[in-house]
Amino acid sequence: MKILYATSEAVPFCKTGGLADVAGSLPPALAEQGAEVAVVLPMYQRVKERFGSQLKFECYDFVDLAWRHSYCGLFSLEKDGVTWYFLDNEQYFNRPDLYGYIDDGERFGFFSRAIVRMLPHFQFWPEVIHCNDWQTALVPIYLKDDGVREDRFRSIKTTLTIHNIEYQGRFGMQTLGDLFGLDQGWAADGTILMDGDVNLMKGAILCADAINAVSPTYANELKMSYFAHRLENIMRRCEYKLSGVLNGIDMKLYDPATDQRITANYSVDDLEGKNVDKAALQRMMGLREEPHVPIVAIVSRLVSHKGLDLICEVLHDMMELPMQLVILGKGDRKYEEFFHWAAQQYHGRMAVRLDYNEELSMAIYSGADLFLMPSKSEPCGLSQMIAMRYGTVPIVRETGGLKDTVQPYEAWRDAGNGFTFANYSSSDMLHVIREAVYLYKDYPDAFSRLRKRAMKCDFSWARSAKDYLRIYANITGQPWPSVEPEKVEEAASVVEEATPVVEEAAPVAEEAAPVVEEAVPVAEEAAPVVEEAAPVAEEAAPVVEEAVPVVEEAAPVVEEPVPAAEEKPMKKAAKKTEKKSVKKAKKDEKPAEKPEKKAAVKKTAAKKETKKKGPAAKEKKEKPAE
Ligand code: GLC
C-alpha cells in the first residue's frame, strides 16, 4: 500500500498544534505496519534553518495555480522508514510563522496544487493521499478536476482527517477562479460553496473517498450543530464514509521511565521519582512544598472551547479545597488577566505561567497529581493521554476524545482511569474535582491504584495505524492486512471492534453480496438499502455493521473492487464533479462548438472509461514511479 500523507505541519520539523504531533507519529507507525509511506510538507523557513543541511535536493518544476506559474523545489529526507518531502517556494513559505498571513489561502492553494502536480517526481505514485484539515483540503478537489482530463489521477483515492472543524478555509467567492483556478461549476452545484463563500473543508468532505474525525465521539458530534460549525448537514450527508479514529501518542517520547526532560524518572512499579518531580515542580512554581496536598494542573491554550469559563466561575470554591493549582498556557486576554489576578490571591497555592513552554509542561505532567481539562469541545486531545502516561490522573468533561480516553472512576468496583463529568456546568465540574481531591487525601491506596491504571493505558500509535490501514483498504479495495486462513477467525473479531470500517464497508458490501448472504443473513437486506441512496445510510448503518467482518474476509474474493468502490459511494459527487470539470475542459479547449452536446458525449465517454479502467488505471499509475 502506497500512502502519501499531506500535512501543513509535522513534528519535529514544524509545529503549532496537535496536528503536528499526529503527522510526526502516524506515518512512521504506518510504515512499521508494512505500508510504503511518504509525507509532504511545505518548506518553511524554520525547516530550512534547522534541517537544511540534512535535506536532499531532488528536482524542481513549475506549478500553475490559476494565472500564476510558480517555481516549486522538491527536497527530501529519510527518517523512521518514511520519506519526508518538502515543497519549496520562498515567496510563500520562507516566512517566520506557519500561518496567520493575509495570503494563507493562496499559500495553501499553491501547496495543494503543487502536491498534485509534483506527483510524477515522488518516489512512487500513491494509491492513497491522506489529507489533513483545510490546508490540504484542495487535494481531493484538484484530483477530481484533473482526473477528468488525465486518467492517472483517477487511480488515486483520498481520505481527509478532520482535526478541528472550526477551521474550514473560508474565502470570498472571487478566489474560486482567480486564486484556486477552479471553474464556476464547483460553486454552481454547491460542492465548494457555503454561506456565499468558498469553503475548502466542505469541498473536501464531499470529494474525499473517506473522511474521519480524530476520535469516535467527535465523529458523532460532527453531525450536531453544537459542534460542527455549520457543517453538520454535510457531515450527516457523508455519514456513510465517516469514521472516528482515536489519535495516539508517541509512547517512547513520552515515557516517564526514560524521559530526560524530567527531574527524576519513574515507572508504574516504582513511583518514588514522581514525588521528587512533585517537589521540584512546587519549587519551580513558587508553591508551598507540601507533599500530601494534591496539585491540580492545567496545560492548555487559553481559549474558550477549552472550557475555561467553568474554572473562572468556581475558582474560589476550588481554592477552598485542600489542593494547589498550576496553570500553564497563553491565549485570550480575558483568561490571561483573570488567572494572573487570581494567582496573586492565592500566593503559594496557585501558580500561573502565561507561556507556551515545553520543558515546563513536562515538569507539570510528571509533577502534578490531577490534570484538569473541562473542554466545551475536544476533537481528540493529546494532553490527557500524556498526563495519564505520567501518572497524573485526568479530570475531563465527556466530549470528543476526552470521552473516548477517560473512563470515570467507580469506587464500588475500583475501576476507571480518571474523573469525568457530562454537563457543561461548573457545579458538576466542582463536584468531581472535590471527589478527586478527597480520594487523594483520604484514600491514598485507592488513588494510587487509580493512578496506576491510568499509567497502564495503551495509547500507542500502532492501534490507530491499523484503523487507518483498514480505511485505506476499504477505499482502494485492497485487502489489508492480507488474512491468512488460520487467522481468519481472529481477524474477524478484531474487525468487529473497529468502528472506522463500518461505514466504509457499506459500498463494498454490495459487491460481496453472495458471500455476505451465506454468512450473515441480515446483510442481504442491508446491501440494497445502501445501494439505493447514500444519504439513507444513516438508518442502514446498524444493519451494515453486522456485515463488516464478513466483508473484510470477502474483500480478497472480489475481483475488481476498485471500480466498485469508486462508483457506488461517490456516484453522485463524481457525476457532479465530472460534469462541472468537463464543462471547464470544454470551455478551455473549444468554447465555440456546441458546448452542451459535446460535454454530454465527453461525460459518457469519461464515465465509461472510469467503469472499465479499474485494473488498467492501476497499471498506468505505476508508470510515473519508474
Ligand atoms: C486539533 C484538536 C485536538 C487534536 C489534534 C490532533 O488540535 O483540537 O483535539 O488532538 O488536533 O488531532
Q: Got the DSSP string for 211-276?
A: EEESSHHHHHHTTSHHHHTT-HHHHHHTGGGEEE------TTTS-TTT-TTSSS--BTTB-HHHHH
Answer whether residue 280 shows pLDDT above 60: yes
Closest protein CA for atom 7 of ligand 1: 18
Report how far ligand 1's centroid is from the alpha carbon of 273 (Å): 30
Give the cell for residue 256.
516517564
396/506 same-domain check: no
514/592 same-domain check: yes
Residue 8 is assigned to a structural domain of this protein: yes
Boundary residue ending a domain (225, 244, 263): 244
pLDDT band at 392 (very low <50, low <70, confident <90, very high): very high
> CA–CA separation, 376 vs 84, rounded Å?
35
Average pLDDT over residues 143-167: 96
pLDDT band at 481 (very low <50, low <70, confident <90, very high): confident
Residue 300 is assigned to a structural domain of this protein: yes
Answer whether residue 197 shows pLDDT above 70: yes
Answer whether residue 424 shows pLDDT above 80: yes
Report how far ligand 1's centroid is from the alpha carbon of 51 (Å): 25
Answer whether residue 432 shows pLDDT above 70: yes
Pocket test residue of 5, 9, 19, 22 for ligand 1, highest count of atoms within 8 A of CB: 19
Pocket test residue of 214, 304, 385 for ligand 1, highest count of atoms within 8 A of CB: 214
Average pLDDT over residues 85-109: 98
Report the pLDDT value the prediction gives residue 480, as an integer from 0 to 100: 81
Residue 431 is assigned to a structural domain of this protein: yes
9/91 same-domain check: yes
Residue 255 is assigned to a structural domain of this protein: no
Answer whether residue 516 shows pLDDT above 80: no
Ligand 1 atom nearest residue 378's Cα: 9
Answer whether residue 617 shows pLDDT above 50: no
Ligand 1 atom nearest residue 17's Cα: 7
- Domain tally, the chain: 3
Number of H-type helices and E-type strands within the chain:
29, 18
Answer whether residue 509 shows pLDDT above 50: no
Report the pLDDT value the prediction gives residue 479, as an integer from 0 to 100: 87
Mean pLDDT score of the chain: 84
Report the pLDDT value the prediction gives residue 154, as an integer from 0 to 100: 96
Pocket test residue of 382, 384, 397, 403 for ligand 1, highest count of atoms within 8 A of CB: 382
Answer whether residue 417 shows pLDDT above 60: yes
Ligand 1 atom nearest residue 161's Cα: 12
Q: Does the N-terminal peptide bond of residue 12 adopt cis geometry, omega within 30 degrees of 0?
A: yes
Report how far ligand 1's centroid is from the alpha carbon of 193 (Å): 25
Closest protein CA for atom 5 of ligand 1: 18
Report how far ligand 1's centroid is from the alpha carbon of 27 (Å): 17
Range in 89-93, 264-268, 311-315, 567-571 the model is least confident about? 567-571
Range in 81-90, 474-483, 549-558 the model is least confident about? 549-558
Other CB atoms within a 10 A radius of the CB of residue 69 amount to 9
Boundary residue ending a domain (458, 475, 495): 458
Report how far ligand 1's centroid is from the alpha carbon of 16 (Å): 11
Answer whether residue 531 shows pLDDT above 50: no
Pocket test residue of 356, 380, 397 for ligand 1, highest count of atoms within 8 A of CB: 380
392/277 same-domain check: yes
Answer whether residue 486 shows pLDDT above 60: no
Report the pLDDT value the prediction gives residue 482, as an integer from 0 to 100: 57
CA distances from 169 to 67, 108, 198 (A): 21, 10, 8
Report the pLDDT value the prediction gives residue 502, as an integer from 0 to 100: 36
Report how far ligand 1's centroid is from the alpha carbon of 524 (Å): 39
Ligand 1 atom nearest residue 400's Cα: 9
Ligand 1 atom nearest residue 21's Cα: 6
Answer whether residue 129 shows pLDDT above 80: yes
289/225 same-domain check: no
Average pLDDT over residues 330-351: 97
Using CB distances shorter than 6 Å, the residues near ligand 1 are 17-19, 22, 163-164, 214, 247, 378-382
Ligand 1 atom nearest residue 382's Cα: 10
Residue 286 is assigned to a structural domain of this protein: yes
Answer whether residue 520 shows pLDDT above 50: no
Average pLDDT over residues 493-522: 39
> CA–CA separation, 420 vs 407, rounded Å?
7
Pocket test residue of 9, 11, 164 for ligand 1, highest count of atoms within 8 A of CB: 164
Give the cell for residue 496.
468487529
Query: In 3-state terms, what secondary structure has residue 190?
Result: coil
91/204 same-domain check: yes
Report the pLDDT value the prediction gives residue 118, as an integer from 0 to 100: 98
Positive or negative, the CA dihedral 578, 39, 32, 462 is negative
Report how far ligand 1's centroid is from the alpha carbon of 625 (Å): 34
Answer whether residue 237 shows pLDDT above 90: yes
User: What residues make up the domain containing 7?
Assistant: 2-244
Report how far ligand 1's centroid is from the alpha carbon of 164 (Å): 6
Report how far ligand 1's centroid is from the alpha carbon of 545 (Å): 27
pLDDT band at 119 (very low <50, low <70, confident <90, very high): very high
Question: pLDDT tens digits for 254-263?
Answer: 999 999 999 9
287/329 same-domain check: yes
Answer whether residue 584 shows pLDDT above 70: no
Average pLDDT over residues 582-600: 41
Report how far ligand 1's centroid is from the alpha carbon of 306 (Å): 12
Report how far ligand 1's centroid is from the alpha carbon of 381 (Å): 5
25/145 same-domain check: yes
559/447 same-domain check: no
pLDDT band at 607 (very low <50, low <70, confident <90, very high): very low
Residue 476 is assigned to a structural domain of this protein: no
Report how far ligand 1's centroid is from the alpha carbon of 219 (Å): 13
Closest protein CA for atom 10 of ligand 1: 381
Boundary residue ending a domain (224, 244, 264): 244
Report how far ligand 1's centroid is from the alpha carbon of 382 (Å): 7
Ligand 1 atom nearest residue 379's Cα: 9
**CATH number of the domain that residue 130 is part of:** 3.40.50.2000
> CA–CA separation, 122 vs 625, rounded Å?
7
Closest protein CA for atom 6 of ligand 1: 18
163/220 same-domain check: yes
Average pLDDT over residues 153-160: 97
Residue 263 is assigned to a structural domain of this protein: no
184/300 same-domain check: no
Report how far ligand 1's centroid is from the alpha carbon of 18 (Å): 5
Average pLDDT over residues 402-419: 98
Ligand 1 atom nearest residue 218's Cα: 9
Q: Tell me which residue of 202, 155, 191, 149 sits closest to 475, measured CA to CA.
A: 155
Report the pLDDT value the prediction gives residue 580, as an integer from 0 to 100: 45
Residue 69 is assigned to a structural domain of this protein: yes
Report how far ligand 1's centroid is from the alpha carbon of 379 (Å): 6
Answer whether residue 187 shows pLDDT above 70: yes
Report the pLDDT value the prediction gives residue 180, as an integer from 0 to 100: 98
182/282 same-domain check: no
CA distances from 587 to 174, 329, 581, 602 (A): 19, 53, 10, 13
